[in-house]
Structure 1
Amino acid sequence: MYPNLYYAINDWFGWKINALKIFYTFGIFVALGFIAGAYFLTLELKRKEKQGLLQPREETITAGKPASFFDLFINGLVGFIFGYKLIGAFIASRSHSIDIQDYIFSSGGSWGGGLVLAAILIYFKYREKNKQKLATPEKRIIRIWPHDRVGDIVIFALIFGIIGAKLFDNLENWDRFIQNPIGNLISPSGLTFYGGLIFAATAICIYAYKKGINILHLTDAAAPALMIAYAIGRIGCQVAGDGDWGIYNSAYISDVPGHVVASTPQQFNEKLGENATYFLSGSVTDSVGVTMNVTDRHSESLEKVPHKSFKGPDFLPTWMFAFTYPHNVNEDGILLKNCEGKYCRALPQPVFPTPFYETIACTLLFLFLWLIRRRIKIPGIMFCIYLIVNGVERFFVETIRVNTTYSIFGIHPTQAELISASLVITGLIGIAVLRKRYVPKPGSI
């Protein structure tokens, strides 16, 4: 696993560049997911604009104005914040004793770095506005197409997606949240996809309504983009080992920390007993005799440890079916041998790598949506299909993943199962309603 770029570069080339510790792999893949989503959303919006399904909106702007104090202040503030934290983290990363993740969320930083970057951004903003300055500012009417607003849409998706993902994660793990509310809210880990989807979708629909963008066509255009963005984001979960893994695969054991071999049911049970405190209380005792909690996932007894047995074909890598996530970013598991630094743990027993499965499944679903998008004539149907396939995919992957469950009339579904089932039902109802109400326009494409 590569919790940050330091571990990746060290593993690939043997270079130990401490400054790379500020670049967390999960965040990198989330960013790549947003970029890919924005790219495919732009393509679809442009296609619908050419078909006449989406129209531009005229807006009045004042051209030729010099940079205002507010413009310069905002640029300076953004520059200072990024310079203060990122340059500070870059400098601090030279020390092995500094936890970069904790440093980013602390009050520490580089005043010099903040002031330098603030000055640079203020200068660029001033120069940009100065080039456009007119002797007498004039009002102009411009046409803004929906695809021109993709940048704003991505920003809304990022901000409200993170807020929703954090809120839903803390609702799903209420006991953990109660113990440390502030810490869990600002922690960079712990994100629930459906919470982010619901909050981001609501914010974007409100924005689209205010900007005169047809919401049904917008959601249709966003369907393939959402799917590929999620697939890429799950690569980050797999590479970083952020805890989104599945239940234990009892067809395998970890004979030594970080290494996986095939096993018998008896060997699997014996391995459970060797690390009983981990499975029963979430704690481990390290080589120096210190006992510490490393996970909040534990069972009432060893017999109730969630697992399924599936032996993968020999021609495929074992990690596709059973993985211990060595060096995972959650610092979950038992200590690895001959390892130095913060991320030196691996799960005591291998689990199903569900992020990997979701990356494969959602990439295929993206291709499916991309191939059928031109055949869908009724506005809104494409997004309903997305809801259905997304819900089905997530519902099935939940069968091999550990999550908090709820007790409802004797059944115990997870939050994701409840929401995914709701998405499938919503999608089916949506298709029925939209097909019934659709009236094709004469000459429509």
Structure 2
Amino acid sequence: MYPNLYYFFKDAFGVDWNFLHFVNSFGFFVAVSFIISSIVLTKELKRKSKEGIFGPTEEKVVVGKPASVNELLINFVLGFVLGYKILGLFFTKENNINPQDYIFSAQGNWLAGLALGAIFAFIKWRDKNRQKLAQPETRVIRVWPHDRVGELTMLAIIFGLLGAKIFDTFENWDTFLKDPSSFFSMSGLTFYGGLICAGIALWWYTHKHHINFLHFIDVMGPVMMLAYGIGRIGCQVAGDGDWGIYNAAFKTAPTGGVFPATLNDFNATVAQQSAYFAGNSTHHAFFPKPGFLSFLPDWVFAYDFPHNVNEAGVPLANCAGKFCTHLPVPVFPTSFYETIMALILFGILWALRRRFKIAGMLFGIYLIFTGLERFLIEKIRVNVKMHLLGIEPTQAELISVLLIIAGVVMILILNRKNRAGTTPVKTS
């Protein structure tokens, strides 16, 4: 496991670059997922615009004005914050610094903040000065949906992360009450919370800018599935706790690594590590590696997540310092499974995207796919149980079922409206 990029570069290239401590592996892959998804989103919006599905909107802008004091001040403040905090992390001399603790503390580099603030303000002044006219003019410009991908991405990031954190907080309310500062940690994010909150924000934005929402969500379905698959790579690499229940068919070596075992070995480990298991579930399954999959490594079926970012588990032998733990019994690497499933489902959605003539149908299929995928993985995934009408579903299972139902209902309604001639039809 690589909790942050420092450990990856040290292991892969033998370099000791202290500033990489602040680049968490999970956050890095989340950023990669947004970047790649933005590229795919732009490509699809352009395709639909060429096919006449999306059109531009006209906006009035004033050109030729010099930079105002407010514009310069806003850019200076933005540059100062980034320099004080982000560049400050690059220049810090502390080892094993916790990025979240640093970001939400008063620590920072004043010189870097002032310098970057001045640079940001100068860039804004220079750009405005280059476009300055003797007499400022009001012009009408045409803005296409693909021109708004930057704004759409920022909305998805802000409301997606906020929603993911809010839903996780409700799911783990007792933990939040004990430590309210945990809300500001990047660990513990509920995907469905992000999906719901980002969806509401994007609906508002598309309505405001006259972008057909049904056509838009058809584009977003494959994009979100792709983003989810890439983001789960970060969960696997960092070992952030999004793993499965114990696989009692394997056991863990003291120095890390897994190998086949018996159920007696599992029971013996639980007894030997009674202090650890006293506060942790022993929910497990016994699933040996099938013979027809013997070519796959053991960690595909059970993994002990050594050096995980949560520092969960028991101490690793011959390891000292931070991130020196692993799980005493290996678990199903569900984040790895979800990456594979999500990328396969993305491929299916991508292949189907030109086939449907009714706008919104592809997104209905996405809802069914994403709900079914998560519902199935919850059967072997560690999660908080809810007490509801005599059953104990997880929050994700409940939302998964609702998404599947929503997808089916959406497809039926769109079909009915299409027969009645009231549903937008794709021209592709």
Aligned to 2:56: 56
**Pairwise CA distance, 1:14:** 2.1
CA distance in 2, matches of 1:122, 1:407: 54
**Pairwise CA distance, 1:334:** 1.1
Change (3 A) 1:104 1:337: farther
Look up the SS of the partner of 2:353 in the other structure.
helix
Structure 1 range deviating more: 337-346 or 423-432 = 337-346
Q: Where does structure 2 lack aligned partners over 5 or more consecutive residues?
A: none
Q: Aligned partner of 2:3: which letter? A: P
Contact 1:245–1:355 (CA under 8 A) maintained in structure 2: yes
CA distance in 1, matches of 2:424, 2:152: 29
Look up the SS of the partner of 1:65 in the other structure.
coil
CA distance in 2, matches of 1:138, 1:255: 72
Q: Where does structure 1 lack aligned partners over 5 or more consecutive residues?
A: 282-297, 300-304
Look up the SS of the partner of 1:374 in the other structure.
coil
Aligned to 2:148: 149
**Pairwise CA distance, 1:98:** 4.0
Q: 1:311 aligns with which of 285, 288, 298?
A: 288
CA distance in 2, matches of 1:321, 1:254: 13
Q: 1:416 aligns with which of 380, 388, 396?
A: 396
Aligned to 1:391: 371
| RMSD between aligned residues | 1.5
CA distance in 2, matches of 1:98, 1:2: 15
Q: Aligned partner of 1:308: which letter? A: A
Aligned to 2:408: 428
Aligned to 1:381: 361
**Pairwise CA distance, 1:170:** 0.6
Change (3 A) 1:58 1:98: closer
1:218-367 map, 5 Å = 218-281=216-279, 298-299=280-281, 305-312=282-289, 313-367=293-347
Aligned to 1:293: none
Q: Aligned partner of 2:277: which letter? A: F
Identity of aligned residues (%): 52
**Pairwise CA distance, 1:423:** 0.3
Structure 1 range deviating more: 140-149 or 254-263 = 254-263
**Pairwise CA distance, 1:437:** 0.3
Structure 1 range deviating more: 101-110 or 190-199 = 101-110
CA distance in 2, matches of 1:73, 1:177: 36
**Pairwise CA distance, 1:16:** 2.0
User: 1:294-337 deviations in whole A, cap 9, x for unaligned?
Assistant: xxxx23xxxxx111111223311111111111111111111122
**Pairwise CA distance, 1:43:** 1.4
Q: Aligned partner of 1:204: which letter? A: L
CA distance in 2, matches of 1:243, 1:197: 20
Look up the SS of the partner of 1:256 in the other structure.
coil
User: 1:100-150 deviations in whole A, cap 9, x for unaligned?
Assistant: 442222111111110011011111111111111111110111110111111
**Pairwise CA distance, 1:233:** 0.4
Alignment partner of 1:190 is 2:188: yes
CA distance in 1, matches of 2:194, 2:153: 13
Runs of 4+ in 1 over 3 A off after TM superposition: 97-101, 440-445
User: 1:262-308 deviations in whole A, cap 9, x for unaligned?
Assistant: 10111111011111121122xxxxxxxxxxxxxxxx23xxxxx1111
Q: Aligned partner of 1:435: which letter? A: N
CA distance in 2, matches of 1:161, 1:201: 8
Count of aligned pairs between the two proteins? 422
Change (3 A) 1:107 1:374: same
Look up the SS of the partner of 1:191 in the other structure.
coil
Contact 1:88–1:110 (CA under 8 A) maintained in structure 2: yes
Look up the SS of the partner of 1:379 in the other structure.
coil
Look up the SS of the partner of 1:244 in the other structure.
coil
1:4-83 map, 5 Å = 4-83=4-83
Aligned to 1:162: 161
CA distance in 2, matches of 1:367, 1:250: 33
Contact 1:257–1:334 (CA under 8 A) maintained in structure 2: no
**Pairwise CA distance, 1:415:** 0.2
**Pairwise CA distance, 1:22:** 1.3
Change (3 A) 1:263 1:97: closer
Aligned to 1:85: 85
**Pairwise CA distance, 1:259:** 2.1
Aligned to 1:176: 175
Q: Aligned partner of 1:164: which letter? A: G
Q: Aligned partner of 2:141: which letter? A: I
Aligned to 1:290: none
User: 1:153-209 deviations in whole A, cap 9, x for unaligned?
Assistant: 10000000111011000100011011122x121122111000000000000100110
Look up the SS of the partner of 2:62 in the other structure.
strand
